[in-house]
Amino acid sequence: MKKLLPLFLTLVAVLAYCFWPKSSFSTELETAINSSSRSAELKALYDATPRKSKRDMEHLLVNMPAADRDTMSLDLLAENVEYAARAREEFAWCATLPEEIYLSDVLPYFVVDEVRDSWRKELYELYAPEVAACTTMEEAVKVVNGNIPRLTGVDYNTLREKTNQSPRESIRQGMASCTGLAILLVDALRAVGIPARFAGTASWHDNRGNHSWTEVWIDGEWRVTEYYMPSKFDHLWFMPDASKANAEDRNYAIYATHFGNADDWFPMVWCGEEENTPVELLPQTIGAENVTERYISLAYEQYTRHLEAGTHTFLRIAGYADITKQEHSGDRVAMGVDVFCGTEQMGGGLTAGPLRDMNDMFSVLLPKNADYELRYYNAAGELQRQSVHLGEEPLTVAVSLK
């Protein structure tokens, strides 16, 4: 009998391996695979996935958009799972993540509706050596963001080919607008095991258009960051605008993407067939969370604290068609102005147009006793740069199209 015991235990182990459920989503996985026009290929992909990564592959197959199940490269999906697992094994901050955060904000192979390309291996190889010496996730985030323009060669430029560029599309061109930059930063962070997600609004309160940025999950909470902002969390230049967001109006609410089941959807304004497509008619394919109230609270605390401490004051900017004519409301024009301190953007927005009260001006709350640069375009489309010194008291500056 004793001789038969090892054989019996081996048989039990083999049966357990063969028939033990591979994950808690086995029924959902079968449903998802069978819903695809290439179910046989997906089953083969899952079977070929290493045992340690089957849960990750299952999560993607169950939660990915139906169109991706039918069309995207399966080699790309396998590579994504492989390098996500590698990051989790290599970086301590990733190894200790809660499962739901890893699955929703590290593992996914896409951000919004960009082209599905093979970014994870490439960005892992770029950034793994850079963050190897980091001991905390926060330190690693700053290293990734602080080096992303240098390592990828991508800078902000509205001459980019399209809004929702994939990492490879942006790297090929060396340029992207805010949406492409946000996608690239999210993917660079995820490549080294840092939870990141895409955030943005369909429009700011003054209807000057959408904006996109990045959130990172550090020490149990989501923090706000952006391309070119390696040393800052939550204190971003657009916070004055975020303070005026409206959680009840999808046009002016702020959303953060969520992979998998979600209670809401992200308004991808770049998908509209026409420039002013109503937000309700946009594709509702990317899950999201309405995070407006958190941004309003962040902005309120930032302003209250700065004003009470006496460290900041307002720079007010008025725009005119002709700098020599500033007497009447009809002399004013709505023009976009960005405020920089060195290479760091501190604010941006539209000056008040002719139908606004003369006392109504575009204002930015800034640290006192510092030098700033205003950047805007004149009527000929030429970039203008205007230096300003902000002292102890609020300052009003005029800019002109002429």
CATH 3.10.620 occupies which residues in the chain?
97-299
Tens-digit pLDDT profile for residues 70-120: 999 999 999 999 999 999 999 999 999 999 999 999 999 999 999 999 999
Task: With a cut of 50, say whether residue 291 has pLDDT above it.
Answer: yes
Q: pLDDT for 313-360, tens place per residue?
A: 999 999 999 999 988 878 899 999 999 999 888 888 889 888 776 677
The set of residues, in sequence order, having a beta carbon less than 8 Å from that of 395 and lying 6+ positions away, is: 313, 314, 315, 316, 388
Topology of the domain covering 97-299:
C8orf32 fold (3.10.620)
- Taking the domain 312-400, which CATH number applies? 2.60.40.2190
Phi, psi for residue 309 in degrees, rounded to 5: -80, -15
Judged against a pLDDT cut of 70, whether residue 47 lies above it is answered with yes
CA distance linking residue 151 with residue 126, whole number of Å: 7
User: For 170-188, what is the mean pLDDT?
Assistant: 95
Mean pLDDT of the region 221-227: 95
Residue with tokens 């539209």: 350
User: Does 19 score more than 70 pLDDT?
Assistant: no
Q: How confident is the model at residue 4 (pLDDT cuts 50, 70, 90)?
A: low
> What's the average model confidence in pLDDT over 202-224?
92
The order of strands in the sheet holding 196-201 is 221-225, 211-218, 196-201, 254-257, 287-290, 264-265
pLDDT band at 276 (very low <50, low <70, confident <90, very high): confident
- Residue 282 and residue 272 in contact, taking contact as beta carbons nearer than 8 Å: yes
What is the predicted pLDDT for the residue at 167?
Answer: 97
How are strands ordered across the β-sheet holding 362-367?
A: 362-367, 312-320, 395-400
Indicate if the pLDDT at residue 289 is higher than 80.
Answer: yes
The pLDDT confidence band at residue 12, using thresholds 50, 70 and 90, is very low
Average pLDDT, the chain: 90
Torsion of CA 35, 38, 41, 47, to 10 degrees: 0
pLDDT band at residue 23 using 50, 70 and 90 as cut-offs: very low
Lowest mean pLDDT among 123-132, 294-303, 332-341: 294-303
Q: Among 327, 317, 110, which Cα is nearest to 197's?
A: 110
8 Å CB contact between 401 and 335: yes
Read off the pLDDT of each residue in 245-258 and give the average, rounded to a whole number.
97
**pLDDT for 144 beyond 80:** yes
d(CA 331, CA 223): 42
Bridge partners (DSSP) of residue 399 are: 319
Amino acid (1-letter code) at residue 378: N
**Distance separating alpha carbons of residues 1 and 167, to the nearest angstrom:** 63
Residues of each domain in the chain carrying CATH 2.60.40.2190: 312-400
Amino acid present at 276: N
Query: Above 50 in pLDDT, residue 363?
Result: yes
- At 21, which amino acid appears? P
The answer to whether 117 and 166 have CB atoms below 8 angstroms apart is yes
Give how far Cα 106 sits from Cα of 216, 268, 313, 400, Å. 10, 21, 39, 46
Rounded CA-CA distance 242/20 in Å is: 50
CA angle 226, 227, 232 (to 5 degrees): 50
Q: Give the span between the Cα atoms of 344 and 375, in whole angstroms.
A: 12
Q: pLDDT value at position 10?
A: 46
> What is the pLDDT, as a whole number, of residue 225?
95
- φ/ψ region of 344 (left if φ > 0, alpha if ψ in -120 to 50, else beta) reads beta
pLDDT of 400: 95
Nearest to 81 by CA among 98, 106, 114, 47: 106
Element (H, E) at 265: strand 264-265
Q: 53-67, 187-201, 299-313 — which is least confidently predicted? A: 299-313
Query: Closest Cα to residue 222, out of 197, 201, 203, 200?
Result: 197
Residue 51 binned pLDDT confidence (cut-offs 50, 70, 90): very high
- Residue type for 139, please? E
Percent of the chain with pLDDT over 90: 72
pLDDT at position 268, please? Answer: 96
Percentage of the chain modeled with pLDDT above 70: 92
Average pLDDT of the segment spanning 197-225: 93
pLDDT at 1 over 70: no
Give residue 302's region: left, alpha or beta (phi > 0; psi -120 to 50): alpha
* Beta-strand relationship, 221-225 and 211-218: antiparallel
Those residues whose C-beta lies under 8 Å from the C-beta of residue 302, and which sit 6 or more positions away, are 234, 235, 239
Residues 122 and 170 sit within 8 Å (Cβ to Cβ): no
